[in-house]
Amino acid sequence: MSDTPSAAPAPIPVSVITGFLGSGKTTLLGKLLRHPGMSETAVIINEFGEIGLDHQLIEAADGEPVVMSSGCLCCTVRNDLVETLRGLYLKRVRGTVPEFKRVVIETTGLADPAPILHTLMEDPIVQAYFSLDAVISTVDALNGEWQLDAQMESVKQAAVADRIVLTKTDLARPEVVAGLKARLHQLNPGAPIIPAIQGEIDPALLFDAGLYNPTTKSIDVQGWLRAEAYAPAHEQGSGHAHGHDHGDGHDHHHHDPAPLDVNRHDARIRAHCLLVDEPFDWDSFSLWMGSLASYHGEKLLRVKAILNIVGEEGPVAIHGVQHMFHPPARLPAWPDADRRSRLVFITKDLSREFLEKSLAEYRAQAAKSAAMSKTTSP
């Protein structure tokens, strides 16, 4: 968080498809690869032995890219993701593979998606040419409830998602589907829940969820942040959301929804949105967020924010996964007339009250330091 905000480039968008074993990732990916809208897509699979997307892939066991009949480019992770992404980009530049405009990475069913997201954030070469677009998580309508109860990995996969694809809804009872949707919405209010039967889905519903929309060639702050999704029902449309910081010294109380059954893994996961009226000083904000990441990184499953920074005309966007943060990006303009900073957190075992208290302490310290500086300046 020590970096100075920098202009956001327009690199190749990378989306990650994750989901628990048997939740329909392979079926979804197979249908996507055959969709005409995915013809300029490179697909990276890290579970080759269990994937049968196309007979051509059987011949690609050495990890070399294969062009499928749909025009998609498909390859497998050889040693690590960084090497695979670098190799693909070099082949694209040299013209030895088609000029893909999107990358989709399919994870293993037991995988925590965080390491893949870290790779996209920390390797300088990958960072220069690729950017995270969307995390897409598949959830099985038949087995989703017990998987969320039994497997923390499945909870994390849904919690960090930008899009949740609900599969097998045609096989589950309507009341089961409704209950699972409600549970997923409480776990991750900002992720649209999209049903898919036998993997049939419009790719336009899944992709272009990042800050930069390659289709419209524009910045989409509201679609990326989705801060309004975190507002409780009585505040919808009022411009307010969880965790106000009015900077007036008053103690504002906001309560989470009724607690989940403590035996559920997702009882430990919470979604918070903090709105801050007063502009941030970049140095003090960096110290606060850096401290959170250092001491509580494992509990910060995902962080997104647009910030009003002193001295900046437009907002500054930040995006983090656990202890790793993407370099901050200056955005050309605010998405609307609201100039408040909006910080969205998905956390594990970290309450909104803790975040609010921590932020208040850092802001008070920053104000004290600024006052002392004025007093001692000649």
Q: Which helix (H) or strand (E) holds 16?
A: strand 12-19
Inside any domain, residue 90: yes
Q: Which of 125, 52, 42 is nearest to 77 (CA)?
A: 42
Give me the pLDDT at residue 251, please.
36
On whether both 38 and 167 belong to a single domain, the answer is: yes
Q: Model pTM?
A: 0.84
Give me the pLDDT at residue 339, please.
95
On whether both 49 and 137 belong to a single domain, the answer is: yes
C-alpha to C-alpha distance for 214 and 322, rounded to whole angstroms: 27
CATH of the domain at 298: 3.30.1220.10
Give me the pLDDT at residue 145, please.
93
Inside any domain, residue 252: yes
C-alpha to C-alpha distance for 189 and 361, rounded to whole angstroms: 28
**Count of domains forming the chain:** 2
On whether both 277 and 201 belong to a single domain, the answer is: no
Residue 47: C-alpha distances to residues 26, 56, 67, 156 (Å):
10, 16, 18, 20
Give me the pLDDT at residue 263, please.
56
Domain end point (choices 165, 197, 219): 219
Residue 215 sits in which domain range? Answer: 8-219
Give me the pLDDT at residue 71, please.
73
Domain end point (choices 219, 243, 265): 219
Inside any domain, residue 167: yes
On whether both 338 and 213 belong to a single domain, the answer is: no
Structure tokens at 184: 């997923």
Structure tokens at 139: 């959830």
C-alpha to C-alpha distance for 223 and 369, rounded to whole angstroms: 37
DSSP per-residue string spanning 154-215? HHHHHHT-SEEEEE-TTTS-HHHHHHHHHHHHHH-TTS-EEEEBTTB--GGGTS--SSEETT
pLDDT along the chain (378 residues), means of 10: 52 92 87 86 71 47 66 75 90 90 86 87 89 94 92 92 96 95 95 93 91 77 89 40 38 40 75 94 93 95 96 94 92 92 95 94 82 64
Q: For residue 212, what are the β-bridge partners?
A: 219
On whether both 93 and 71 belong to a single domain, the answer is: yes
